[in-house]
Amino acid sequence: MVYTLFKRVTGAALLTVSLFSPAVMASDKLEISGFGRIVAGYLDDPNVEFEAYTNQVSFTEQSLLALQADYHLLDNLTVTAQLLAHSSNERDSGLEWLYVSYAPSPLWQVKAGRMRTPFYQYSDVIDVGFAYPWISPPQQLYSAFLFNQYDGVSLIRRFSFGDFSASVEGYYGVFDGDTTFQERSYPTDINNLAGIVFNGMFNSNLRVRASYIMADFSLDLEEITQFSDLLRSFGFNQSADSLTMQGEFDIYQLGVAYDSLDYNLASEWMEIQSNTVLAPNIVSYYLSGGMVFQPVTVSLTFADMIVDPSTAASDIPFGLSPDLDQLYYGYQTIFAQTQASDLQSLTFGVRWDASYNIAFKAEVTHFKGALGISTFQPREGRGDFDESANLYQLAMEFVF
């Protein structure tokens, strides 16, 4: 059954690739291109799920197909739209990007509209699996944020000096929509999102990236908000505040990558700081190395997420009355459920570039970490989690 599905989807994908490759030139003014991926995953622990993967083989968590249309109004003025169809329940299908881009010279570019937030090296191409070596980029960085789009403007300035060429991008915008995690959607407001990204390239082999982002955020967690309001009505403001997902965050990022004909090395580090108890301060990084045996690349990645634990509020007295004790336990339980936990992983992956626009990947990741909001979720009616699990994944990635 699964095999038939895989065959059908693969067949459709191959057909799409062969029909359209390379980028179709519908006319001089309109360019249609796209990308897609079929990803299968299996988690070997029956007691938990990770990024919606369980101990049942699933093809739907990360598989997707996207079309991009670039319409050139003038030589230097382009409208771009990217439509994405996603098979996961956690992701909405629809318009991912819609922006106007104006490039008065090769050194300047202005974009305005709906764009992807460029948090880390691959954040704005997280759906384009063809663009990166892994099937799942290190979750310690790439799933630790709540939204991935913004509506706003972006300005890019490129420059070069000697062997070094670089670009600086500044952007400003807002996000008003839903974010989904643990299979539920929550209304989210991001305001005053401002960021700056520096990308440098030395020869074409050594790349460095540094970025800084800040924003005001507000997330309505519904039943948690209701409980927080209840606590406030009893006068337990400290406890109530600690269950509010509202405040400011800052993200710092540094990345370096070296690519040659025979091997590659990459590392990224990020730190999230927030003034909200529910959004903990996090430091994550990964180190990755790969050997190229054309057309196959074999790689090993170590990634780590260190969470600075938040302290629960202590203004609800314990042992005074059964009602208060119930409130106390309710608060402690909800607080514990909203905490993130440390996560370590070691990933071994193989990428086979079967042709210049199709790649096949296989990957196994060994995770170590406790239950937490962006890591392992307990499954109902199952046993205790021993805080370690392996995720096996297979993927086909294509661009056209």
Partner 1 sequence: MKFLSHSRHLVTAILLSLGSATSLAQQYDIKVVANVDNPAIKLDKVAVRNLFMGNASDVLLKPVSLPPETLTRAVFNTKIIGLTEARIQSYWSQMRFSGRSREPDQMSTVDELLSFVSSNKGTVAYVPADVEIPPHLTVVYSTDKL
Q: Give the shortest CB-208-to-partner 1 separation in angstroms.
A: 14
Considering only 112-120, 231-239, 366-374, 376-384, which stretch makes contact with partner 1 by CB under 8 A?
A: 112-120
Q: Give the shortest CB-134-to-partner 1 separation in angstroms.
A: 12
**Which residue type is seen at 179?**
T
**Which residue type is seen at 280?**
P
Q: Give the shortest CB-348-to-partner 1 separation in angstroms.
A: 19
Q: Give the shortest CB-131-to-partner 1 separation in angstroms.
A: 4
**Which residue type is seen at 253?**
Q
Closest CA to 354 of 297, 299, 304: 297
89 binds partner 1 (CB under 8 A): no
Q: Using the CB atoms, write b or e for 40-71: b if 16+ within 10 Å.
A: bbbbebebbbbbbbbbeebbbbbbbbbbbbbb
Closest CA to 286 of 186, 179, 388, 138: 138
173 binds partner 1 (CB under 8 A): no
Q: What are phi and psi of 218, to 5 degrees?
A: -150, 125
Identified binder of partner 1 from the candidate list 63, 88, 101, 374, rule CB under 8 A: 101
97 binds partner 1 (CB under 8 A): yes
**Which residue type is seen at 119?**
F
Q: What are phi and psi of 253, to 5 degrees?
A: -140, 140
Q: Give the shortest CB-154-to-partner 1 separation in angstroms.
A: 9
62 binds partner 1 (CB under 8 A): no
Is 202:164 a contact under the CB 8 Å cutoff?
A: yes
Per-position x/- string for 285-314, each x denoting binding to partner 1 as judged by CB under 8 A, each - no binding: -------xxxxxx-----------------
Considering only 118-126, 178-186, 301-309, 369-377, which stretch makes contact with partner 1 by CB under 8 A?
A: 118-126
Structure tokens at 103: 């490039």
Nearer to partner 1, 122 or 285 (CB): 122
Alpha-helical runs (H) found in the chain? 2-20, 139-142, 223-233, 237-242, 322-337
Considering only 122-130, 208-216, 228-236, 240-248, which stretch makes contact with partner 1 by CB under 8 A?
A: 122-130
Distance between CA 268 and CA 324 in Å, rounded?
46
160 binds partner 1 (CB under 8 A): yes
- Count of residues engaged in binding partner 1, rule: CB under 8 A: 54
Nearer to partner 1, 10 or 355 (CB): 355
Is 400:20 a contact under the CB 8 Å cutoff?
A: yes
Asked if the bond preceding 295 is cis, omega within 30° of 0, the reply is yes
Nearer to partner 1, 139 or 361 (CB): 361
Conformation bin of residue 224: beta by default, left when phi > 0, alpha when psi is -120 to 50: alpha
Radius of gyration in angstroms for the set of CA atoms belonging to the chain, rounded to a whole number: 23
Closest CA to 175 of 204, 218, 131, 231: 218
124 binds partner 1 (CB under 8 A): yes
Considering only 159-167, 219-227, 275-283, 363-371, which stretch makes contact with partner 1 by CB under 8 A?
A: 159-167
Distance between CA 261 and CA 48 in Å, rounded?
40
Q: At what angle do helices 223-233 and 322-337 cross, to 10 degrees?
A: 140
Which residues, numbered 193-212, are part of the site for partner 1 (CB under 8 A)? 201, 203-205
Which residues, numbered 329-388, are part of the site for partner 1 (CB under 8 A)? 351, 353, 355-357, 359
Distance between CA 240 and CA 219 in Å, rounded?
15
Per-position x/- string for 11-50, each x denoting binding to partner 1 as judged by CB under 8 A, each - no binding: -----------x----------x-x---------------
Residues that bind partner 1 in the complex, under the rule CB under 8 A: 22, 33, 35, 66, 68, 80, 82, 97, 99, 101, 106-107, 109, 111, 115-116, 118, 122, 124-125, 128, 130-132, 156, 158-160, 162-163, 165-167, 201, 203-205, 259-261, 264, 292-297, 351, 353, 355-357, 359, 399
